[in-house]
Copies of this chain bind each other. A is one copy, B any other.
Amino acid sequence: MKSIGEEIQQSEFSDVYQELGINILFTAAWFGERNRLALKDYDISLPQFNVLRILRGQKGQPISVAGLCDRMIDKSSNASRIVDKLEARKLVSRRVCDKDRRQVDVVITDKGTSILEELNEKVPSFKTIMAKQLSTKDAEVLNFALDQIRNQK
Contacts and interface: CB of A to CB of B under 8 A. Distances in A.
A145 B147 contact: no
Nearest to A16: B139
For this chain, the copies found in one complex come to 2
Contact of A23 (B2, B14, B57, B143): B143
Interface residues of A, number: 60
Contact of A151 (B2, B19, B126, B152): B2
Given A16-B140, A21-B31, A21-B130, A150 B73 contact: no
A75 interface: yes
Interface in A112-147: 125-127, 129-134, 136, 138-143, 145-147
A82 B138 CA distance: 38
B147 A17 contact: no
A1 B149 contact: no
